[in-house]
Homo-oligomer: A and B are copies of this chain.
Amino acid sequence: MQQSQAATELMTLRDREYKCGIDVTLALVGGKWKASILWHLAQETMRFSDLQRQFSDTTRKMLTQQLRELETDGLVHRKVYPQVPPKVEYSLTDQGRTIFPILELMCDWGRNYAQAGNQT
Asked whether B110 lies within 8 Å of A21 as measured between CB atoms, the reply is yes
Residue-by-residue, is A75-108 near B (CB-CB < 8 Å gives 1, otherwise 0)?
Answer: 0000000000000000000010011011101111
Q: Which residue of the partner chain, among B12, B95, B102, B105, contacts A118 with CB atoms under 8 Å?
A: B12
Residue among B18, B21, B114 making CB contact with A11, cutoff 8 Å: B114
Contact A25 B98 (CB under 8 A): no
Give 20 new A-B contacts, CB below 8 A, not counting A25-B106, A30-B30, A102-B109: A12-B114, A13-B114, A18-B110, A20-B39, A20-B107, A20-B110, A21-B107, A21-B111, A22-B110, A23-B35, A24-B111, A24-B113, A24-B114, A25-B113, A28-B113, A74-B117, A98-B109, A101-B105, A102-B105, A105-B105
30 residue pairs from A and B, CB less than 8 Å apart: A11-B110, A11-B114, A11-B115, A12-B114, A13-B117, A18-B114, A21-B107, A21-B110, A21-B111, A21-B113, A21-B114, A22-B36, A22-B39, A22-B107, A22-B110, A23-B35, A24-B110, A24-B114, A25-B107, A25-B110, A26-B30, A26-B32, A26-B35, A26-B110, A28-B110, A95-B116, A98-B109, A98-B112, A101-B105, A102-B106
